[in-house]
C-alpha cells in the first residue's frame, strides 16, 4: 500500500498542496511501521475519533453537529485519491472550509504516526 507514493493519483494530489508541503520528505519506513501505526491509533482515539468515529468510518459522535461530514478513512476510494503528504498537510494545517482543525500541537513525528494509522484504515 505504501508503494502508492509513486502512483499518478499521489502526484496529482500533491500538486494542489502549498509549495512547502509538496517537498516534505515522506518517511516511508515510519508509515509502514507497526509501532508508528499503534502510536497513530492512540493519537486518533484521543484527537480524531469524536468526529471521524472509533473505526475511522466518519461516524463519530459529533458527526451530526458538523457543517460537512467527516472523512471516511476506511473507504478504499478515498485512499486511492490521496497521498501521505496530503494527509500530513490536513493534520498539520486543517482543511479550509471544513470543520477539520489544524493540529499543530502535535509534533511532526506524531503527525506522521497519525498519518500512518489513517492511511492503514482503508487496508482493513
Q: What is the mean pLDDT of each run of 10 residues along the chain (124 residues)?
A: 36 82 96 98 97 96 92 95 96 95 96 98 83
Residue 100 DSSP one-character state: -
Classify each residue of 26-41 as buried b or exposed e, where b means 16 or more C-beta atoms within 10 Å of its C-beta: bbeebbebeebbebbb
Q: What is the pLDDT of residue 32?
A: 97
Find the DSSP H helices in 62-107.
76-80, 84-93
User: Cell digits for 79?
Assistant: 485512499
Q: What is the pLDDT of residue 121?
A: 96
- Domains delineated in the chain: 9-123 (1.10.760.10)
Q: Check: CB of residue 122 under 8 Å from CB of residue 78.
A: yes
Q: What is the pTM of this model?
A: 0.87
Amino acid at each position: 500500500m505504501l508503494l502508492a507514493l509513486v502512483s499518478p493519483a499521489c502526484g496529482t494530489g500533491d500538486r494542489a498542496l502549498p509549495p512547502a508541503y509538496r517537498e516534505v520528505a515522506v518517511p516511508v519506513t515510519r508509515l509502514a511501521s507497526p509501532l508508528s501505526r499503534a502510536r497513530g491509533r492512540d493519537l486518533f482515539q484521543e484527537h480524531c475519533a469524536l468526529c471521524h468515529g472509533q473505526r475511522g468510518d466518519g461516524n463519530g459522535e459529533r458527526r451530526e453537529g458538523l457543517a460537512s461530514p467527516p472523512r471516511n478513512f476506511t473507504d478504499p476510494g478515498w485512499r486511492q485519491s490521496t497521498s501521505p503528504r496530503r494527509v500530513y498537510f490536513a493534520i498539520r494545517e486543517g482543511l479550509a472550509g471544513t470543520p477539520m482543525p489544524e493540529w499543530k500541537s502535535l509534533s511532526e513525528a506524531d503527525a506522521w504516526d497519525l498519518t500512518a494509522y489513517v492511511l492503514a484504515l482503508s487496508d482493513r
